Amino acid sequence: MEKISVIVPCYNEEKALPLFYEELNKNIKEFPKKATFEILFVNDGSKDNTLNVIKELAKTDNTIKYISFSRNFGKEAAIYAGLENSTGDYVTLMDADLQDPPALLKEMYSSVTDENYDAVGTRRINRKGEPIIRSFFAKLFYKLINKMTSFEMVDGARDYVFMKRNVVDSILSLKEYNRYSKGLFSFVGFDVKWIDYENITRIAGETKWSFWKLTKYALEGITAFSTTPLLISSAIGLLFCLISFLLILIIIFKTLILGDSTSGWPSLVCIIFMVSGIQMFCLGIIGQYLSKTYLEIKKRPLFFIKDTNIRK
C-alpha cells in the first residue's frame, strides 16, 4: 500500500489547526484510491497553544506525527525538517490555514500515479484579497527573477506541491542554508504538472508575512539563484568609466579651445554624489552575496528539535 506524507508547517496556528485537521481528515476519508496517510506537523516555535493542539490531535489519531522546534526558525526550516522526517512514497506540503485546499489532493495523486508526472505544483490564478501594492511587487519580482535565472520560476506558484520520493530526495540533497523552496522546486526540474486555483483567504489567525519580510524573502530568492546583480554592478562600473573618459576628453578640448574656466562646480558635486551612491549600491550587492556566503560557510543546522513523537 502506498503512503502519502502531508507536511504542515505551523507557526501560531492554534485557531486554524483544528479546522485544518477536520477538513484534511474529511478528504482523507473520502480518498478514492487505497493509500495510507501520515500527517507531519512541524511546530516552528509557536508562541501560542499550537503544540498542545497538535498533541491533543495526536492522541486521537496515530497517523499524526509532530516535530517541535526549540524556537522559530522560519517556514523554510520547517519544510526541510518535514521532508527529512517524512516516510511516504509521496509527500505534499500544506499550509495550516486552509489556503491550500486538501480537496486538490485526489487530483494531485492521480496526476503522479496515472499520468506519470513526477510532481504537481499549484498556482493561484489571481491574487484576490491581497493588497494591490503587494501584487504589483510580486509580479515585478517574478519578471525580474525569470530574467536572471536559467530555469523558470512560475508566477503565483505556492508552496503547496505533491512530489514523488525521488523529487523529495533531490530537494533534500540541496544542502544550502539559505533555502528558498519555490526556487529549489523549480531548480531540481522533473516533469511537473501545474494545477491552477483561485486564491483563497486564510481561514483563521493572521498572516506571518509583513511587506518588509516579503521584500527580504524576494531578495533572498534572487541572490540564492542568480549572480546577475553582480554582473549588473560590474556593467554599471564599466559604463561610468566610459562616461568619465569621454568627459575628460571633452574638458581637455574645451580648456584648450576656450581657456580655463572655473564654472561647473555644482554639476561636479552632483556627479560626485551620484557616483558615490552607485558605488555604495554596488558594494551593497557584493555585500549581499558575501553575507550569504558567510552564512553558508558556518554550516549551522537549520533547526533544533525540542520535542517530537517520531521514533527512529
Residue in 99, 122, 223, 233 binding Mg ion, rule: CB under 5 A: 99
Smallest gap from residue 68 Cβ to Mg ion (A): 20
Residue 58, classed as helix, strand or coil, is helix
Tell me the torsion sign for CA atoms 229, 234, 239, 243. positive
Name the binder of 113 from Mg ion, ligand UDP, none, CB < 5-8 A by kind: none
Nearest approach in angstroms of CB 294 to Mg ion is 31
Half-sphere exposure of 2 (CA within 13 A, CB side): 14
| Cell numbers linked to 108 | 494531485
Please check whether residue 160 is in contact with residue 88, taking contact to mean a CB–CB distance below 8 angstroms.
no
**Could you say which residues in the range 41-70 bind ligand UDP, by CB under 6 A?**
44
Q: What is the DSSP string of 119-183?
A: EEEEEES--TTS-HHHHHHHHHHHHHHHHHSSSPPPTTEEEEEEEEHHHHHHHHH---SS--HHH
Residues 184-213 that bind Mg ion (CB under 5 A): 202
- Shortest distance (Å) from residue 79 CB to ligand UDP: 8
Q: Which stretch binds ligand UDP (CB under 6 A): 8-16, 56-64, 242-250, 273-281?
A: 8-16
Cα angle, residue 167 at apex, residues 161 and 170 outer, rounded to 5°: 125
Q: Is 11 in the site for ligand UDP (CB under 6 A)?
A: yes
DSSP-assigned letters across all residues of 211-252: HHHHHHHHHHHHHHH--HHHHHHHHHHHHHHHHHHHHHHHHH
Q: Pick from 123, 127, 202, 292: which binds ligand UDP (CB under 6 A)?
A: 202
Check residue 95 for interaction with ligand UDP (CB under 6 A): yes
**DSSP state at residue 71:** S
Q: Give least dist CB 41 to ligand UDP, A.
A: 10
**Interface with ligand UDP: number of residues (CB under 6 A):** 17
Asked if 99 touches ligand UDP (CB under 6 A), the answer is yes
Whose Cβ is closer to ligand UDP: residue 117's or residue 141's?
141
Q: Which of 38, 97, 100, 159 binds Mg ion (CB under 5 A)?
A: 97
* CB contact set of 92 (below 8 Å; sequence gap of 6+): 4, 5, 6, 7, 105, 108, 160, 161, 162, 163
Q: Across-strand partners of 38?
A: 5
Helix, strand, or coil (residue 35): strand
75 binds, among Mg ion, ligand UDP, none (CB under 5 to 8 A by kind): ligand UDP
Binder of ligand UDP out of 97, 98, 164, 229 (CB under 6 A): 97
Find the part of the chain contacting ligand UDP (CB under 6 A) among 89-97, 112-120, 223-231, 276-284.
89-97
Contact flag: residue 83 with ligand UDP (CB under 6 A): no
Q: Based on CB atoms, which residue is closest to ligand UDP, 106 or 202?
A: 202
209 is an interface residue for ligand UDP by CB under 6 A: yes
d(CA 61, CA 75): 25
Q: How far is CA 154 from CA 3, 76, 193, in A?
A: 28, 18, 12
Binding site for ligand UDP (CB under 6 A): 9-11, 13, 44, 72, 74-75, 78, 95-97, 99, 202, 207-209
Binding site for Mg ion (CB under 5 A): 95, 97, 99, 202
